[in-house]
Amino acid sequence: MPFEFSGRKVVVAGGSRGIGRAIALGFAAAGARVSVCARGAQALEDTRAALEELCPGAHAGVCDLSDGPAVGRYVAQAEQALGGIDILVNNASGFGAGDDEAAWAAGLAVDVMAMVRASHAALPALGRQAGSSILHIASISGLRASTRTPAYGAVKAAMMHYTASQAAMLAPQGIRVNCIAPGSIEFPGGTWERRRLASDPLYDKVLSGIPFGRMGTPDEIAEVALFLASHHARWVTGQTLAVDGGQLLGR
């Protein structure tokens, strides 16, 4: 299925590595001007340069997405640099894995509130564009109970619930809202690569539960993101789509 996003402006909050980077590059390869933000300046600049090669006019901004005012400033800067916003992708995570105060605070600040704040900041621009949409990146952890990552799973479930509520609220404005729940995704420098290199038993345990016998890749999430933001999915809103190679089937 060909994707065509020429002339479209895309903001990816949390887009310097892994899934976010793959999504940003996918949109740029399809002709969109893309802005990305993250905390790490060097990875961010590397991604901006890669985006620029695919589609001139890329933008990047250093932003701590747990900082509410900083989120608003970044979205405003991205809108100005791109000349508008057609598509917003909320990909960042605080990775609050445990059940202590720190894990909950990280997840609520980044996974939940950065999503809400970026959406609110982008809404005026999105409302001016026909066919605009918002896409949240959650996790299959939000679809089942977890004794290992209770806070992380709970905030991802909150993202899915907000997706449906937000879709209902924004439909009268012609704005679609959807969510992707990735399974275990491996990429350079990511959690699962680190576990594999450290011979962590959890890696093999999780891998054994994936019917296809491998971890997913960021590109496999990016391709679904482009579909959900495209004209091909024009009648899809308020949905959470698990993209996990059947990982949920084995539990």
Catalytic residues: 152
Between CA 220 and CA 9 the distance in angstroms is 22
Q: What is the DSSP string of 160-173?
A: HHHHHHHHHHHGGG
Between CA 220 and CA 204 the distance in angstroms is 21
3-state secondary structure of 5: coil
Task: Tell me which H or E stretch contains 87.
Answer: strand 87-90
Contact between 30 and 51 (Cβ < 8 Å): no
Contact between 122 and 133 (Cβ < 8 Å): no
Which pairs with CB-CB distance under 8 Å and at least 24 residues apart come from 172-176?
Answer: 173/126, 173/127, 174/127, 174/130, 174/131, 174/132, 175/123, 175/126, 175/127, 175/132, 175/133, 175/134, 176/132, 176/133, 176/134, 176/233, 176/234, 176/236, 176/237
Query: What's the angle, vertex CA 232, arms to CA 12 and CA 153, rounded to 5?
Result: 45
